[in-house]
């Protein structure tokens, strides 16, 4: 064999024998040292670095040698001492007794709230509810034991309670009313309801729901709904405005307030000694938070803004018996205990609550009515077990006269008074000691708690599950009030149940159902990403072909901006999509939709406006979130007229797009464009590789074994294809994946299809919340329709189709005029 000339050139010309032999000797010595086991204990071989104890025979080893050098033989101690000092032992976990010490429990409680804040009722809810991390809080989503049906039954006949303490409160204090109201009125519009300077709210009798907009951008630029309450000091000329906001939009609202009122943040002077002292109880920790975490903003005009986040608790009660349950839970302070001059003002309010207000139905009061009360610690009057609500008997309430309602007191908004109430709160151990030493029941304590009761009656009746009240109290008493409500038979609900109750009341949930504000768009984005990730976790053969089979362009988001601009006569991509909330315009559109009035103005019709609607199914069909609202054609209307009683619904099957796509692909490839009289003699494209094993199968192999073998082969093939596909997708693409994920191979033309014409019926809107309604006894939903698309709807008849269904169901839509609320 001839040698390559390049190999000869690379070989060395000479060899140093001494260096070569030295290297080989070193290698041989290392090899002998590795395989020579004479120095080791019998039965062991060298497998790497050894500890000092492993160098000893087995019968001389002790467990204490790992930390006690004196357990080694004297000859080995010097070597073992250095080895033990350099070794890293696993730290022993603290004992359970150490972890259960009160101080360590408190430190652990504080440490676990660094990322997401816990409400005061968190521990109670965490044992019974599914908890989620939302808006910087750990919130209760749904109960593990109760579905929505019993919650709905209680909200209509009894009472349900929800902890809404995650709402943030801003307290604005000024020398006069106009100094606060005038700069902030630019964020409101009188067309959609009450404003900050509404006459009905200035005296402090009512808490109003107001919708805030970007200054000068109405009807677009919606920020969020808020609830506000005015209060005037009794002795000095000072006004207070309390604004309750949702945590998803609170930072935006705070920024607007600082800009409009020209405020500056006050630097807090914190004593270093107080910071270094660790609190011993939960109440001390909350008092410490009041001083440290209260952000204060001030202006040169004498205005002050206090950020009272996590310093007030707010419980929401729904149901006709919510006032009666609260009346049984709250023990108002007796007249003889109101010795202080400031407390004496509560005597008349407490007496009216005891004799009249607490025995009525919340639907009898105007919406937003506020009561000021001074109550005792709820632990003192809490029963030992759940007690049924006592019937009111023959008590017949007279009609409520607003002029007879007493003015709410500003006592509650004094920070020093709330701090004193928390300082005087009795520790649980002291309370039990008092009960054991006294023969009589303990009915009073030094802690007198000011509370506010706010009536919620936005529907204007007594048959809605949304009617109820809000209980506002200082922080530190949340767990006590909550457990007292549970012993008073108020059922607890979570965020999911609240959304269902809002659906039954024809209301939109904020921010999950609002498409024209930043908080709502962020909510849509988070939901879109979570649904996409859930969709991608499914195998390819188990994923729904939304575009090929169902013609759904956007199954996991709404994209209202694209839909509204599709319906505009002039395509203006710069125009922002907004929701019409003016009751006057909504009334005109409602009359026009029912054929009882003229069409709205041309400027409104040609804008990117969305109309809030509610949808009632005719017979069957349960609309779900993301369902399509479509305009029917003449044939659909004729078919609806011919529906019989036995026929449940009009079902229009959506034809799949697979056949159309395959035809277009064939036309693009040009296989059908060849001449008809041309016959190809090339047989290679039609040839197929055939295995001889498949031609001559083993006679002994049973059919069952053959099927299993083929099944495993197909499984391996699918796994290989799935692995290749996953390698192509990066981690970033999975998170921000577009509509191309939902479509199959060869569906690149989905982007060119117009949103409004993506299925067999014209899309005029989408459903944001829907399900079977217990109030109406049929499928019910709320959603938004494009204003310019309502021209294609006759007599309010539409079709809806869920994103996972092929069938269209007839329904009737009406305009929703209810305002957003927290």
Q: pLDDT tens across 376-433, in order?
A: 999 998 888 888 877 654 445 566 677 677 777 888 898 888 888 888 888 888 888 8
171 pLDDT band, cuts 50/70/90, is very high
Q: Is the pLDDT of residue 556 over 50?
A: yes
41 pLDDT band, cuts 50/70/90, is low
Give me the architecture of the 121-165+311-392+399-505 domain, per CATH: 2-Layer Sandwich (3.30)
Going from the C-alpha of 191 to that of each of 71, 211, 212, 256, the distances in angstroms are 89, 11, 12, 21
Distance from C-alpha of 349 to C-alpha of 342, rounded to nearest angstrom? 13
Dihedrals phi, psi of 764, to nearest 5 degrees: -110, -15
Nearest to 556 by CA among 722, 804, 279: 804
Say how many C-beta atoms besides its own lie within 10 A of residue 337's C-beta: 16
Greater confidence (706 vs 468) lies with 468
pLDDT of 730 = 47
Do residues 654 and 553 touch, judged by C-beta distance below 8 A?
Answer: no
Distance from C-alpha of 481 to C-alpha of 762, rounded to nearest angstrom? 53
Distance from C-alpha of 219 to C-alpha of 211, rounded to nearest angstrom? 11
Ranges 324-328, 344-348, 458-462, 605-609, most confident: 324-328
pTM above 0.85, yes or no: no
What's the average model confidence in pLDDT over 683-694? Answer: 65
H or E element in which residue 118 lies = strand 117-118
Nearest to 607 by CA among 212, 219, 193: 219
How many whole angstroms from its chain centre is CA 106?
27
Q: Angle 550-556-559 (CA atoms, 0-180°, nearest 5)? A: 100
Distance from C-alpha of 231 to C-alpha of 242, rounded to nearest angstrom? 8
Q: Is the pLDDT of residue 720 over 60?
A: yes
Going from the C-alpha of 362 to that of each of 492, 501, 577, the distances in angstroms are 19, 17, 37
Q: Where do you find CATH 2.40.30.110 in the chain? A: 518-657+744-815
What's the average model confidence in pLDDT over 247-257? Answer: 94
Q: What's the mean pLDDT when you consider all of the chain? A: 82
Q: Angle 505-511-514 (CA atoms, 0-180°, nearest 5)? A: 75
pLDDT of 651 = 67
CATH number of 518-657+744-815: 2.40.30.110
pLDDT of 34 = 63
- Residue 201 gets which letter from DSSP? H
Q: Where do you find CATH 3.30.1360.120 in the chain? A: 121-165+311-392+399-505
Nearest to 802 by CA among 787, 781, 816, 788: 781
How many whole angstroms from its chain centre is CA 228?
24
Torsion angle (degrees, nearest 10) of CA 139, 143, 148, 149: -150
pLDDT of 675 = 46
H or E element in which residue 782 lies = strand 778-786
Q: Is the pLDDT of residue 307 over 50?
A: yes
Residue 602 exposed, middle or buried by CB count within 10 Å (0-12, 13-18, 19+): exposed
H or E element in which residue 610 lies = strand 609-617
pLDDT of 61 = 85
Instruction: For 646-731, list the strands marked E by DSSP.
Output: 652-653
3-class secondary-structure state, position 578 = strand
Do residues 183 and 261 touch, judged by C-beta distance below 8 A?
Answer: yes
Q: Which residue's entry shows tokens 């080694």?
A: 72
Greater confidence (721 vs 96) lies with 96
Q: Is the pLDDT of residue 462 over 60?
A: no
pLDDT of 662 = 45
Q: Is the pLDDT of residue 486 over 90?
A: yes
701 pLDDT band, cuts 50/70/90, is low
Nearest to 758 by CA among 557, 552, 563: 552
Give me the architecture of the 167-309 domain, per CATH: 2-Layer Sandwich (3.30)
Cis peptide before 431 (omega within 30 of 0): no
Do residues 600 and 585 touch, judged by C-beta distance below 8 A?
Answer: yes
pLDDT of 337 = 75
Nearest to 514 by CA among 170, 211, 242: 211
671 pLDDT band, cuts 50/70/90, is very low
- Determine what percent of the chain is predicted with pLDDT higher than 70: 82
Greater confidence (36 vs 185) lies with 185
pLDDT of 125 = 95
Q: Where do you find CATH 3.30.70 in the chain? A: 167-309
């Amino acid at each position: 064999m001839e040698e390559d000339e390049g190999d000869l050139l690379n070989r060395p010309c000479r060899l140093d024998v001494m260096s070569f032999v030295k290297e080989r000797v070193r290698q041989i010595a290392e090899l002998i040292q590795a395989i020579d086991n004479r120095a080791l204990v019998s039965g062991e071989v060298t497998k790497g670095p050894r500890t000092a104890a492993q160098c000893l025979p087995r019968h001389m080893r002790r467990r204490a040698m790992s930390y006690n050098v004196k357990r080694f033989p004297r000859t080995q101690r010097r070597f073992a001492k250095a080895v033990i000092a350099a070794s890293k032992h696993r730290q022993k976990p603290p004992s359970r007794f150490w972890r259960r010490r009160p101080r360590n429990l408190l430190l652990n409680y504080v440490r676990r709230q660094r990322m997401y804040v816990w409400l005061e009722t968190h521990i109670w809810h965490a044992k019974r509810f599914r908890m989620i991390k939302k808006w910087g809080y750990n919130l209760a989503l749904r109960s593990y034991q109760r579905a929505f049906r019993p919650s709905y039954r209680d909200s209509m006949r009894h009472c349900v309670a929800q902890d809404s303490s995650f709402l943030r409160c801003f307290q604005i204090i000024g020398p006069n009313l106009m100094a606060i109201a005038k700069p902030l009125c630019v964020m409101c519009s009188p067309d959609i309801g009450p404003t900050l300077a509404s006459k009905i709210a200035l005296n402090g009798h009512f808490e109003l729901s107001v919708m805030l907009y970007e200054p000068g951008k109405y009807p677009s630029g919606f920020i969020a709904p808020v609830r506000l309450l005015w209060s005037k000091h009794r002795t000095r000329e000072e006004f207070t405005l309390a604004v309750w906001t949702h945590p998803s939009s609170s930072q935006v609202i705070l920024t607007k307030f600082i800009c409009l009122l020209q405020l500056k943040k006050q630097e807090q002077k914190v004593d270093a000694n107080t910071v270094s002292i660790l609190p011993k109880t939960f109440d001390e920790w909350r008092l410490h938070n009041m001083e440290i975490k209260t952000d204060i903003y001030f202006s040169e005009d004498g205005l002050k803004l206090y950020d009272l986040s996590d310093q007030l608790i707010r419980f929401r009660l729904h149901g006709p018996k919510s006032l009666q349950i609260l009346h049984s839970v709250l023990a108002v302070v007796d007249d003889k205990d109101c010795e202080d001059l400031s407390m004496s003002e509560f005597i008349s309010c407490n007496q009216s609550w005891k004799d009249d207000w607490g025995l009525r139905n919340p639907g009898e009061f105007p919406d937003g009515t506020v009561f000021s009360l001074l109550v005792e610690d709820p632990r003192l009057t809490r029963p030992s077990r759940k007690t049924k609500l006592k019937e009111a008997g023959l008590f017949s309430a007279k009609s409520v006269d607003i002029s007879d309602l007493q003015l709410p007191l500003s006592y509650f908004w004094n920070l020093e008074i709330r701090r004193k109430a928390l300082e005087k709160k009795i520790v649980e151990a002291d309370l039990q000691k008092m009960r054991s030493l006294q023969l009589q029941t303990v009915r009073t304590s030094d802690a007198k708690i000011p509370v506010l009761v706010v009536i919620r009656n936005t529907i204007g009746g007594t048959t809605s599950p949304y009617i109820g009240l809000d209980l506002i109290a200082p922080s530190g008493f949340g767990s006590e009030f909550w457990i007292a409500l549970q012993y008073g038979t108020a059922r607890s609900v979570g965020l999911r149940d609240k959304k269902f109750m809002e659906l039954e009341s024809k209301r939109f949930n904020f921010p999950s159902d609002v498409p024209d504000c930043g908080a709502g768009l962020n909510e849509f984005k988070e939901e879109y990403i979570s649904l996409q990730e859930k969709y991608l976790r499914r195998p390819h053969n188990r994923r729904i072909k939304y575009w090929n089979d169902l013609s759904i362009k956007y199954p996991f988001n709404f994209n209202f901006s694209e839909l509204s601009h599709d319906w505009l006569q002039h395509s203006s991509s710069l125009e922002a999509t907004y929701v019409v909330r003016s009751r006057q315009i909504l009334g005109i559109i409602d009359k026009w939709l029912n054929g009882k009035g003229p069409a709205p103005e041309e400027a409104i019709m040609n804008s990117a406006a969305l109309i809030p609607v509610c949808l009632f199914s005719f017979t069957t069909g349960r609309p779900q979130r993301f369902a399509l609202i479509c305009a029917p054609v003449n044939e659909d209307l004729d078919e609806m007229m011919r529906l019989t009683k036995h026929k449940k619904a009009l079902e229009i099957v959506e034809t799949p797009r697979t056949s159309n796509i395959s035809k277009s692909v064939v036309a693009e490839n040009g296989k059908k464009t060849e001449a008809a009289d041309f016959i190809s003699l090339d047989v290679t494209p039609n040839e197929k590789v055939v295995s001889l094993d498949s031609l001559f199968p083993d006679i002994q192999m049973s059919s069952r074994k053959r099927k299993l073998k083929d099944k495993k082969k197909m499984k391996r093939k699918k796994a290989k294809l799935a692995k290749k596909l996953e390698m192509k997708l990066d981690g970033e693409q999975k998170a921000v994946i577009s509509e191309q994920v939902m479509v199959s191979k060869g569906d690149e033309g989905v982007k060119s299809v117009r949103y409004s014409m993506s299925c067999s019926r014209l899309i005029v809107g989408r459903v944001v919340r829907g399900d079977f309604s217990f109030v109406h006894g049929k499928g019910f939903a709320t959603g938004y329709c494009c204003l310019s698309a309502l021209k294609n709807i006759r007599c309010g008849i539409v079709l809806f189709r869920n994103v996972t269904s092929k069938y269209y169901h007839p329904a009737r839509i009406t305009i929703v005029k209810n305002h957003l609320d927290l």
